[in-house]
Amino acid sequence: MMPVHINDIYYDPERQFCGLYIASKISMPDFDPTLELLRILNQNKVCFLSISSHRSEGVVHNFITLDLTENPGLKEELVKRIKEKFGTMLVYLVCADSGVPGLIYNVDGYPVILNVSGHPIQVAAMTTSGWKNLVMGMIRRYKSEATLMLWNMGNDFGEAQGKYLLEMKGLSDRNRIRIGLAILQALGWGKFELTECDDFGKTVVISAKENFEELITWELLDYENRFLLGFFVGLVSKVFDKACRGTEVKCMKLGDPQCQFVIK
């Protein structure tokens, strides 16, 4: 299992960050993997934002966060140089682009902190199986009323998120919605895209793939993503300061390539 080292990077949609995870054998004093990585970065004049490493059973694990904004094409060259230099000492190598602006990091005594534009938020995470037990338990106990309860829960959460985003100055409402979706993706709720949104929020279309609500209710073919729909309605309503309604117009359970929500 690949260990995850995550560090403090503020939200900045104009920059391109990249994470390199390298696991390799060590042979001291002849071959120090961390030192060799630093040499390769220095030779290529690459700015690294952070580096962390640990050693386990003769293998050194390094995770380096890079800022490749000025030279995004350098990523492939770095991977090539590392493979050439490490040779048979290399155990594992992956280059991971962050799909989320804003990065999670480990500080303040909590396992995970989400940092968005300098605002650290403690994350109280629950696994997918935990969510499944919660949602299926509600459906079993409250039947048809459960979907309304889930919608209201999501709506309250969306409104709270929208209120928080309104406190971030210097952003357009469209960008606030984008940041709200990025936060959800960082929390592991799925992969979200703001497909359509005008400056007045007249029509907002959000597409979702691999969303957790879809995964935990997959066997319930007639179940719609009520929690997420409620969240999107609450978020858009608060950010654009108007009462909205929402509909899930596409669903992966019905064979669509993604779920899609329209909020007006």
CATH label of the domain that carries residue 245: 3.30.1380.20
Q: Provide the residue type at 137 as one letter.
A: G
3-state secondary structure of 134: helix
Question: How confident is the model over 238-251, as a mean pLDDT?
Answer: 95
- CA 45, CA 103: separation in Å to the nearest integer? 24
What is residue 97's predicted lDDT score, i.e. its pLDDT?
60
- Residue 128 pLDDT grade (very low, low, confident, very high; cuts 50, 70, 90): confident
Dihedral sign from CA coordinates of 102, 166, 161, 194:
negative
pTM over 0.85: no
Partner residues linked to 204 by β-bridges: 197, 263
What residues make up the domain containing 64? 17-119
Give yes or no: residues 161 and 222 share one domain: yes
Give yes or no: residues 174 and 222 share one domain: yes
Per-residue pLDDT of 89-113, as tens digits, reads 999 898 766 554 444 333 444 445 5
The reply to whether 223 falls in a domain is yes
Contact 106, 113 (CB under 8 A): yes
The domain total for the chain is 2
- Residue 120 pLDDT grade (very low, low, confident, very high; cuts 50, 70, 90): low
Residue 8 has pLDDT above 80, yes or no: no
Give yes or no: residues 145 and 182 share one domain: yes
Contact 91, 62 (CB under 8 A): no
- Kindly report the backbone phi and psi dihedral angles of residue 256, in degrees, each rounded to the nearest multiple of 5, phi listed first: -75, 150
Give yes or no: residues 64 and 155 share one domain: no
End-to-end Cα, the chain, rounded Å: 43
CA distances from 258 to 46, 209, 236 (A): 37, 5, 20
- Alpha helices, H only, the chain: 33-43, 74-86, 128-142, 144-166, 173-186, 212-216, 226-240
CATH label of the domain that carries residue 99: 3.30.70.260
Residue 62, Cβ neighbours under 10 Å: how many?
Answer: 19
Q: Which of 158, 163, 167 is nearest to 118 (CA)?
A: 167
Q: Which of 103, 114, 242, 260 is nearest to 194 (CA)?
A: 260
The fraction of the chain above a pLDDT of 90, given in percent, is 41
